[in-house]
Structure 1
Amino acid sequence: MEKMTLQDSNQPNNSPLLNSEADSQRTLYPYVTGTSVIALKYKDGILMAADMGGSYGSTLRYKCVERIKPIGKHSLLGASGELSDFQELLRYLDELILYDNMWDDGNSLGPKEVHNYLTRVMYNRRNKFNPLWNSLVLGGVKNGHKYLGMVSMIGVNFEDNHVATGFGNHLARPILRDEWHENLSFEDGVKLLEKCMRVLLYRDRSAVNKLQIAKITEEGFTISQPYSLKTFWGFSAFQNPTVGAEGSW
C-alpha cells in the first residue's frame, strides 16, 4: 500500500475553494467615498456641482478628488459613493465610447443612451450581489435636447429637471424645488448650485469647502477649477447646537 505524505507547508495551495476569498475583486464595503452631487437644467444646457472630498470612513482623507467627468462628446457624469467603483465605471464607459467611435458612422452616443447603459450595468451588478457602490448623475445635451437623470447602486433611475445624490437629496432638493425655473440663466444657475453646496457644507460632515462646477451645452463642456465658497459660522445654532435639545449630551 502506498504511503500517504503530508503536503509541505511551504508549498502553495492551489485549491480554488481556499483561495476564492483572497482572489475576490468585489467591493464588499465602501472605503473611500465621495458625498453629494447636484445637477440642474438651465437655459442653455446642464450644470453640475460636486465637492472634492474623499472620506476614509468618517475621516476626510482626500481633498482633491474630481468626481465629475466628461463622457464622450455630449455627456457629463458625476458620482457619489465608493471612488474605486467610480473608476471601474469610467473604464466601462471608456470601452463603450471607444467601441462607438470605431464604427465611424458619424453618430455618437448621447446622454440618454449613456444613462440607459448605466442603469443596465448597475442593475446587472446588483442582481449578481456584486453592486457598484455609487449613485450616479448623468446630464448632457444632444441635438438641442437637454437630458438629466440619475441612477442608484441598485439600478433605480429617473429623469428630472434637477437631481441630487446623498445628503443633497434631502437638503438641496427642497431648495431646487422652490427656486428652479425653466429659463434659469447660467449665472443664476451657478448661484443656485452654490447655495445648495453651502447648505451641504454646513450640514454634511463629509463635505469640504472645495468644489467644482461643470457645464455642458451644444458647443461642449467646461469644468471649473476648484474653488471655495464664502461661509459664515457665527450662527447661534452653530455656537451651541445642543441648547434646547431634550435628552442631548
Structure 2
Amino acid sequence: MLAADTLGAYGSTKRYKSLERIVRVNARTLVGAGGEVSDFQYIVRLLDELTTDDYRTDDGIELGPKEIFSYLTRVMYNRRGKMDPLWNSLVVGGVEADGTPFLGTVGMIGTHYEDSHVATGFGAHLARPLFRERQSDAMSEADAEALLRDALRVCYYRDKQSINKFQIAKVAADAPAAVGEPFALETSWDYKAFAAPTKWAIGAW
C-alpha cells in the first residue's frame, strides 16, 4: 500500500489541491512521489515510455517493481551527476511475478533502499515511528490501511503544509495495482496541546 496527500504547494500557497502523487505504472507496480511537481511529471513520462515499450514488444512480459526501482535509481543518480537533479523523493511498491512483495524508496541524488515500510518528507520523521511499532509483514489488509490512516492523521496534525485530502493505492498478488479515490480523515482539534500550544512552553507569553 502507498499513501499520499493530494496537495501541490507553491511555497506557502496551497495552490493545487487535487494533485495525484501516486501513479500506476502497470498491473504490478505503483510509484509515489514527494517534491517538485514538474520533475515528477517528467518521471511519469519516462515511465510511460517504459510501459509503451513493454506493450509494443508484445511478448507477455512486463517490468516488475524491482526493475522499475533499479531504473529510477539510475535516472536520479544520472541527473545528480549532471548537477541538475530531479527534486523528488520516490516510493516504488509492487508485487513480483512470483508473488513476492517489493517496497523501496529513491532519493533525489540516487540514494535508495528497500524495507518493509518506507516514507518520505515529514513522514520519515513522524510516520515511520508508528510503522516500527505496529507494522508486521503478516498483518491483514484492514490493519495495514488502519495504520496508514493513523500515520496520515499524525502527519496532517503536525505539518501546516498539508491538507486533509489523501489517496491510498494498493497492489496484491491476486489484484492489479489501483489508486483509490481521494478521501478526508476524521480529525479532532480539541486536544489540550492544540488548544493552548504554548501554555507549558519555556519562555512563552
TM-score class, shorter-chain normalisation, is over 0.9
Q: 2:52 aligns with which of 83, 98, 111?
A: 98
| Identity rate, percent | 52
Aligned to 2:127: 172
Q: Is the partner of 1:163 in helix, strand or coil?
A: coil
Q: Is the partner of 2:200 in helix, strand or coil?
A: coil
C-alpha RMSD of the superposition: 1.1
Aligned to 2:25: 71
Which runs of 5 or more structure 1 residues have no equivalent in the other structure? 1-46
Which runs of 5 or more structure 2 residues have no equivalent in the other structure? none
Q: Which amino acid aligns with 1:80?
A: G
User: 1:56 aligned to 2:10?
Assistant: yes
8 Å contact kept, 2:33–2:88: yes
Q: 2:72 aligns with which of 118, 134, 139?
A: 118
Aligned to 1:234: 190
| Alpha-carbon distance, 1:239 to partner | 1.1
8 Å contact kept, 2:127–2:155: yes
CA distance in 2, matches of 1:128, 1:222: 34
Aligned to 1:224: 180
1:140-219 aligned within 5 A: 140-142=94-96, 143-218=98-173, 219=175
CA distance in 1, matches of 2:137, 2:81: 37
| TM-score of the aligned structures, taking structure 2 as reference length | 0.96
Q: Is the partner of 2:118 in helix, strand or coil?
A: strand
Alpha carbons of structure 1 residues 154 and 248: separation in structure 2 relative to 1, 3 Å: farther
CA distance in 1, matches of 2:172, 2:18: 26
| Alpha-carbon distance, 1:248 to partner | 4.5
Q: Is the partner of 1:147 in helix, strand or coil?
A: strand
CA distance in 1, matches of 2:146, 2:28: 24
| Alpha-carbon distance, 1:225 to partner | 1.1
**Deviation per residue, 1:155-180 (Å, 9 max, x gap):** 00000000000000000000000000
| Alpha-carbon distance, 1:58 to partner | 1.3
8 Å contact kept, 2:24–2:178: no
Instruction: Answer with 1 or 2: which has the greater Rg.
Output: 1
Instruction: Give 1 or 2: higher helix fraction.
Output: 2
Q: Which moved more, 1:70-79 or 1:101-110?
A: 101-110
| Alpha-carbon distance, 1:202 to partner | 0.3
Q: Which amino acid aligns with 1:164?
A: A
CA distance in 2, matches of 1:99, 1:248: 60
CA distance in 2, matches of 1:119, 1:154: 8
| Alpha-carbon distance, 1:53 to partner | 1.0
| Alpha-carbon distance, 1:222 to partner | 2.2
Q: Which amino acid aligns with 1:213?
A: I
Q: Which amino acid aligns with 1:242?
A: T
**Deviation per residue, 1:181-205 (Å, 9 max, x gap):** 1211111111000000000010011
| TM-score of the aligned structures, taking structure 1 as reference length | 0.79
Q: Which moved more, 1:63-72 or 1:100-109?
A: 100-109
Aligned to 1:86: 40
Q: 2:89 aligns with which of 107, 129, 135?
A: 135
CA distance in 2, matches of 1:216, 1:167: 24
